Amino acid sequence: MDSKSTYVYFLRMLNLNDLVLFATAVDSGGFAAASRRLGVPKSTISKRVAALEDELGVRLIHRTSRSFVLTDTGRDFHEHARAALIETEAAENAVRSRVAEPSGRVRITCGVPTAQEYLAPRLPALARAYPRLQVEVDVSDRFVDLVQEGYDIGVRSHFAPLPDSGLIQRQAAVEAIVPVAAPAYLDERGMPQAPLELSAHDGLLTGPNNGVWTLRADGGASVAATPRPRMVANESRVLVAAAVAGLGIAVLPERLCAAELSDGRLRRVLPSWNAGSVTTTLVMPHRRGQLPGVRATVEFLIGCLARERAAQ
């Protein structure tokens, strides 16, 4: 019997509740955090994990008063245990989906701008559409490993194609990055008529090394311009506010400054040119992407974007 078959055999013989306690303790980083997450006494989780180790005849976790570290065997067992729990959840949801609306917890991770501009306006409608869904959103700009950290959906905005990571990818939106400025700034400094004229203007930059803007025409021509650095900020709303205040020209995703463009606080500069595009993609681990609650969330968010684009 190979190692994978051995794990499957043991998993079939073990108490499913013990697998839940073990996997939650590992995913939470310790028994105390798992206790808070599950509402189960810490002592109960510790005893059940110890009983699990006794039944298996192996040590899964090295634990002291200050540390909680998986053994090599524990890491392998955790991977298979979590897969078994996901399959169990999928089996339960497959039955429930025939008689009930999507339900259960859906964990989403995304960066700060994506949360503010993409999720925040749409999650209330999702909650109203599926009142039995419990959506958890973790907003962080760090790299998140969806599989290892147990997330259902990652919402990622990116300029280049995402690497082939083995995750399910669903493209939600592609939008232009456009030059914008306040009417007061353009009245004072003049509206640029060609991309090279941007070099004579104040630029609001996303980083100290991002001082060259490459603009592309609708017909495909490409021109590089180097504005005068006026402000540098790696947060989009800071740049929007600076542009509205008349400090200079910024190149921003159209969605991020849509309200300001609509009410006239900002104007498009060189409207037949753009500075590339940004894509929003939903990524999911294969097993979790099959869960009804996850599928419903993904289809709802993508449907929102499709309806909004059609209305524009």
Give the DSSP per-residue string, 73-128.
Answer: HHHHHHHHHHHHHHHHHHHHHHHHHHHS---EEEEEEE-HHHIIIIITTTHHHHHH
In this prediction, residue 308 carries a pLDDT of 67
Whether residue 7 has pLDDT greater than 60? no
- pLDDT tens across 31-72, in order? 888 888 888 888 888 888 888 888 888 888 888 777 788 888
CATH pick for 3-97 out of 3.90.1420.10, 3.30.365.10, 1.10.10.10, 3.40.50.1950 = 1.10.10.10
Q: Is the pLDDT of residue 96 over 70?
A: no
Q: Is residue 104 within 8 Å of 291, Cβ to Cβ?
A: yes
* Residue range(s) occupied by CATH 3.40.190.290 in the chain: 102-312
Quick check: pTM over 0.95?
Answer: no
Segment 122-138, tens digit of pLDDT = 899 999 999 989 999 99
Task: Annotate 25-35 with b (16+ C-beta within 10 A) or e (fewer).
Answer: bbebebbeebb
Provide CATH 1.10.10.10 ranges for the chain: 3-97
Average pLDDT of the chain is: 85
Q: CA-to-CA distance for 131 and 73, rounded, in angstroms?
A: 40
Q: Which two tokens stand for residue 178?
A: 């456009």
What gap in Å lies between CA 161 and CA 4, rounded to an integer?
34
CB atoms within 10 A of CB 300: 17
- CATH code that applies to domain 102-312: 3.40.190.290
Residue 9: C-alpha distances to residues 72, 83, 84, 150, 228 (Å): 19, 14, 11, 24, 66
Tokens of 87: 């399959």
Rounded CA separation 24/153 (Å): 18
pLDDT at 194 exceeding the cut of 50: yes
